[in-house]
Amino acid sequence: MKIGMIAGPWLPVPPTAYGGAELVVSQLADGLVDRGHEVILFASGDSKTKAELVPIVPRHIGQDWPGYGQPFQNSFSEFSYVRSFLDKVDIIHDHTMHHNTWLPVKAIYTLHGPAEWGAELARRMSAFGQQNYFVAISETQRRFYGEEGINFVHTVYNAVDLKQVPFSDKKEDYLFFIGRANREKGLDLAVRVAIETKRKLIMAIKMTEAHEKEYFREVVKPLISKADVEIKGDITVEEKYNLYKNAYATLFTSQWEEPFGLVMIESMATGTPVIALQRGAAVEVVENGVTGFLGDTLEDLIAAVGHIPDIKPETCRQHVEKKFSVEKMVEGYEEAYKQVLYGIKRAIVARDVMTASVVAVNPDTTREELIKVLSTHNISGMPVLENGKLVGIVTEDDILSKPTAERVKNMMTRNVVTVNERDSVYRVASIVIRNRIKRVPVMSDSLIVGIISRHDLVRALALEK
């Protein structure tokens, strides 16, 4: 495919310091090029990319342009759309949501921001010539935007490039916070956790706008004198990952419905667990009690600090590898592009074709009972559940290859490949083929809601036709 990728002029791609969306754009553009696609990236001239770079400004212009931001972005976006059309791209991927076009080219937008300012705009754009389509970055974000009137084609999690992220299982005795000095980010909560737990807190803060400085001066600064707090400004990527990897834990005290939260996956990728408020997408990103802890109150966060030794750094890293790799993100966007280019209004997803009445066994089921269940239901495999949680999958092949195993727990496969109920059938099919499996469990958050076999996928192709 030939893809026009539009970033803003505010920061370079990738960012040299703070800049979540710009980091995602960089990873995606390079990942698509690595998979053989032709990508034209519209970004500042000091960006670095494997794609063909078309500078929209010679150098990034920064984020502080009061009164001029909207006109600037509209002009840059319009140029990018016209150039993309003249270069005959197959699809435009816009990360700014600043421009509609009557040109006969389809556009897909990633919703990087909250529903408060984006939902109504997405609805208007969805009705604009029926050629604008949207990707959410979490199921939580998608739920807050609402399905009605928005041309959603996929949900694709943000990613972290594990090849660029150092790992360490040796931790120092400080807590870490990184983010903008917005009131919603909860800097004061992070300091209160440090005060109550008597631990050092290192804070890497980006603070440029007047309301950020006022919040820090009036709310955060008075608390700092009561704790051992080290304040750092806008740090480099290398400094950021060094602080992550050596931290006892990362505090994610965001008090609003964060659409994703790159901080959490960056931290877990280095092997450092996350302590977060149970808000926004945190419930999708952090596995509570496994890669960190989620809480509803300040007291919950304080209590979680004492349980951090229960978390294994290797498990944090593996969690990111499984759910938030660049490869997984690129694959998700490829499927979104295909859905738009094939003219599918709403793509058929896993929940449309899965078998919802799941037959399952538990780890202590005997060999004889397992064989009876498989025979009774005329199936060749099934998931293994323990206390309602998926812990494995067992098949006829397991029975035949392990003739001495007397119970399911001794023969099941524990490293289970799964899909999400919203995944397109194209993505499900690619997972089944790539992993050479006959069936795959369908998940909604941490719960299994169905199972898809190869037969179901064939039936999906017929539905699509």
Q: What are phi and psi of 170, to 5 degrees?
A: -105, 120
Cα(407)–Cα(401) distance, integer angstroms: 14
For 355, counting Cβ atoms within 10 Å of its Cβ (0-12 exposed, 13-18 middle, 19+ buried), the class is: middle
Q: What is the dihedral of CA 192, 243, 169, 187, to 10 degrees?
A: 20
The pLDDT, as a whole number, for residue 100 is: 64
- The CATH architecture annotation of domain 2-110 reads 3-Layer(aba) Sandwich (3.40)
Which residues belong to CATH 3.10.580.10 in the chain? 346-464
Establish whether the linkage from the previous residue to 166 is cis, with ω within 30° of 0. no
Q: For the structural domain made of 162-323, what CATH number should be given? A: 3.40.50.2000
3-state secondary structure of 191: helix
Burial 63-83 (b: 16+ CB within 10 A, else e): eeeeeebeebbeebbeebbeb
Strands (E), 141-272: 152-155, 174-180, 200-206, 229-232, 249-252
Half-sphere exposure at residue 457, Cβ-oriented, CA atoms within 13 angstroms: 20
- In order along its 465 residues, the chain shows pLDDT tens digits of 999 999 988 899 998 876 678 999 999 999 999 989 999 999 999 999 999 999 999 999 886 776 666 777 778 888 999 999 999 999 999 998 876 667 888 899 999 988 877 898 888 888 765 578 999 999 999 999 998 889 899 999 999 999 999 999 999 999 999 999 999 999 999 999 999 999 999 999 989 888 999 999 999 999 999 999 999 988 998 999 999 999 999 999 999 899 999 999 999 999 999 999 999 999 999 999 999 999 999 999 999 999 999 999 999 999 999 999 999 999 999 989 988 887 555 557 788 889 888 899 999 999 999 999 999 988 889 999 998 889 999 999 999 999 999 999 999 999 899 998 878 787 788 889 888 898 999 998 778 999 999 888 887 766 655
The pLDDT, as a whole number, for residue 66 is: 67
Which residues belong to CATH 3.40.50.2000 in the chain? 2-110, 162-323
The pLDDT, as a whole number, for residue 116 is: 79
For 421, counting Cβ atoms within 10 Å of its Cβ (0-12 exposed, 13-18 middle, 19+ buried), the class is: buried
Q: What are phi and psi of 349, to 5 degrees?
A: -115, 175
The pLDDT, as a whole number, for residue 127 is: 77
Q: Are 87 and 81 in contact (CB under 8 A)?
A: no
What's the longest Cα–Cα distance across the chain? 74
In order, the DSSP letters of 175-190 are: EEEEEE--GGGTHHHH
The pLDDT, as a whole number, for residue 130 is: 53
- The CATH architecture annotation of domain 346-464 reads Roll (3.10)
Cα(403)–Cα(213) distance, integer angstroms: 68
The pLDDT, as a whole number, for residue 346 is: 53
Using N-to-C axis directions, what is the helix angle for 20-34 and 262-269, rounded to 10°?
Answer: 60
Could you give the C-alpha distances from 34 to 29, 30, 235, in angstroms and in order? Answer: 9, 6, 29
The pLDDT, as a whole number, for residue 142 is: 92
The pLDDT, as a whole number, for residue 309 is: 97
